[in-house]
């Protein structure tokens, strides 16, 4: 076959472009940096030398989570072109070997690295980044969907209101993040429907992540009697909206008055034992609990910081406004990084995919903390998306990096600051209309048969 000079030149440019875009070496170097190298080596499973060893597979998997094209085919194409250009033995572009390598990665390795990285980020933060010298943790939950396969449906059923064949498997994720750094400290994944899938149950499974002296902030789902007792036993203070069931009975004339709409009250232990609690634990729980309630901004807050001198109402109001940061963290993970719709077709791989996204998120947070140190600002002042974009360009273009170059990259990351949008209100509505197609109201095989018989329906106006 005859090739013109222009076509050969075009092919050469294409190969060079693929080479620049195929490099997951920067992610590999980040995973094997001083802060993570020993931990990665310790968690490596027993393996023989393969085309995709565990560390390289992990780097490729994380690069997938950070990339716009998250397909396995794209990841394998990147690896194949990189091996071709660097003189390594070529490999097939079929995805089977890489997919099997991902399956061999232990879930605990990925989850453990995510938690370890979050802990390491937190250990190196200066005291002035914390609230009155105390670490503040944020908790919240969200949901993600996954491909509609029989195995996924069995493990994570779709919402009850949807007809069979029309919905998608859905799972719930509850995470604890740091207010100072944004790093994820731990997470729990469960079913969206059924026993044990609610946010309170998932939080109980990871509440050991919290340490004595921490402050935990969350919304009105969490401050139940027994959870507050558990936090008090761990030496953790809470600052949350009042549990919905008690909003109707708040009377600031009762209890010990601390100020205007600010008082201490005594809560009695529920007479009925929760299903998840053992009888021995229920009997050991105290009969009463003293908490502080105050009203601010139209909300009634509950806290175990009882002294108004060390934690005045105004300071707590300002602190609780920052609970919104956890909503932004969730948006970064789900929308900016793309975890809202998973791609793995089995429950085991879907769970592993979630932890890969969380690991990738913590790696970006690590870079943001380093950038904040260089620029002498708070990590929350830096744009997450800006840092992610810079890292993607850096990982594609940089073959090797010196300390000076890494420092310069961190300064670039610190240039884009997040604006102060306190009290911002936006309508939960979209201006751009969706495509004019009707909703799928019957299972897809039935819809196909209907199209064969009657043709495609007209577009909606």
Domain presence at residue 242:
yes
- Expressed as residue numbers, the domain containing 305 is 226-309
- Beginning with the edge strand found earlier in the chain, give each strand of the sheet holding 237-241 in spatial order: 184-191, 170-178, 136-145, 215-218, 237-241, 299-303, 288-296, 262-268, 256-259
Specify the 3-state DSSP secondary structure of 180: coil
- Helix ranges (DSSP H) in 67-95: 72-85
Domain presence at residue 288:
yes
The span from the CA of 357 to the CA of 339, in Å, is: 7
Q: Among residues 105, 126, 154, which one ends one of the domains?
A: 105
CB contact set of 346 (below 8 Å; sequence gap of 6+): 149, 151, 152
The span from the CA of 321 to the CA of 307, in Å, is: 20
Q: Which of 4-13, 78-87, 330-339 has the highest mean pLDDT?
A: 330-339
Q: Among residues 43, 74, 105, which one ends one of the domains?
A: 105
Domain presence at residue 63:
yes
Domain tally, the chain: 2
Mean pLDDT of the chain: 86
- Quick check: 99 and 76 in contact, CB under 8 A? no
- Quick check: 355 and 110 in contact, CB under 8 A? yes
- Quick check: 293 and 247 in contact, CB under 8 A? no
Higher-pLDDT residue of 296 and 48 is 296
Domain presence at residue 62:
yes
Domain presence at residue 305:
yes
pTM: 0.87
Q: What is the predicted pLDDT for the residue at 197?
A: 78
Domain presence at residue 80:
yes
Q: How far is CA 278 from CA 203, 272, 282, 287, 372, in A?
A: 18, 12, 6, 16, 46
Strands, DSSP E only, in 277-343?
288-296, 299-303
Domain presence at residue 170:
no
The answer to whether residue 133 scores a pLDDT higher than 80 is yes
pLDDT for 332-368, tens place per residue? 999 999 999 999 999 999 999 999 999 999 999 999 9
- Quick check: 237 and 303 in contact, CB under 8 A? yes
Q: Among residues 289, 309, 329, which one ends one of the domains?
A: 309
The span from the CA of 454 to the CA of 56, in Å, is: 51
Domain presence at residue 284:
yes
């Amino acid at each position: 076959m005859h090739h013109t000079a222009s076509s050969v030149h075009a092919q050469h440019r294409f190969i060079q472009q693929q080479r620049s875009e195929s490099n997951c070496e920067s992610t590999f170097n980040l995973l094997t940096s001083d802060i993570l190298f020993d931990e990665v080596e310790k968690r490596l499973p027993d393996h023989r030398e393969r085309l995709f060893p565990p560390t390289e597979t992990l780097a490729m998997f994380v690069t997938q989570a950070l990339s716009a094209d998250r397909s396995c085919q794209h990841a394998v194409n990147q690896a194949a072109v990189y091996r071709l250009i660097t003189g390594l033995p070529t490999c097939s572009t079929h995805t089977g070997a890489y997919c099997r390598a991902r399956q061999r990665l232990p879930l605990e390795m990925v989850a453990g690295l995510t938690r370890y990285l979050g802990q390491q980020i937190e250990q190196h933060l200066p005291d002035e980044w914390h609230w009155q010298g105390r670490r503040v943790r944020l908790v919240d939950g969200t949901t993600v969907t996954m491909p509609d396969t029989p195995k996924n449906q069995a493990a994570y059923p779709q919402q009850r209101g949807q007809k069979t064949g029309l919905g998608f498997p859905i799972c719930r994720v509850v995470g604890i993040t740091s207010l100072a750094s944004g790093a994820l400290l731990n997470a729990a994944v469960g079913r969206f429907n059924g026993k044990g899938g609610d946010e309170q149950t998932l939080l109980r499974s990871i509440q050991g992540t919290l340490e004595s002296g921490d402050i935990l902030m969350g919304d009105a789902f969490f401050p139940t009697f027994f959870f507050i007792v558990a936090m008090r036993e761990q030496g953790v203070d809470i600052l949350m909206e009042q549990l919905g069931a008690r909003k109707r009975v708040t009377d600031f004339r009762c209890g010990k008055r601390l100020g205007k709409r600010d008082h201490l009250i005594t809560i009695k232990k529920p007479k009925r034992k929760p299903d998840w609690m053992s009888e021995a634990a229920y009997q050991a729980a105290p009969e009463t609990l003293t908490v502080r309630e105050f009203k601010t901004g139209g909300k009634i807050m509950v806290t175990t910081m009882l002294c108004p001198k060390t934690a005045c109402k105004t300071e707590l109001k300002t602190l609780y406004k920052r609970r919104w940061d956890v909503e932004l963290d969730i948006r970064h993970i789900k929308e900016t990084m793309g975890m809202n719709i998973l791609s793995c077709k089995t429950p085991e791989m879907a769970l592993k995919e979630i932890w890969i996204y969380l690991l990738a998120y913590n790696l970006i947070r690590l870079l943001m903390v380093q950038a904040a140190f260089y620029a002498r600002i708070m990590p929350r002042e830096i744009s997450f998306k800006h840092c992610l974009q810079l890292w993607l360009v850096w990982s594609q273009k940089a073959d090797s990096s010196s300390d000076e170059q890494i420092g310069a990259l961190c300064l670039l990351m610190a240039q884009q600051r997040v604006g102060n949008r306190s009290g911002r209100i936006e309508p939960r509505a979209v201006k751009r209309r969706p495509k004019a197609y009707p909703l799928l109201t019957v299972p897809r095989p039935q819809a196909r048969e209907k199209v064969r018989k009657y043709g495609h329906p007209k577009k909606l106006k």
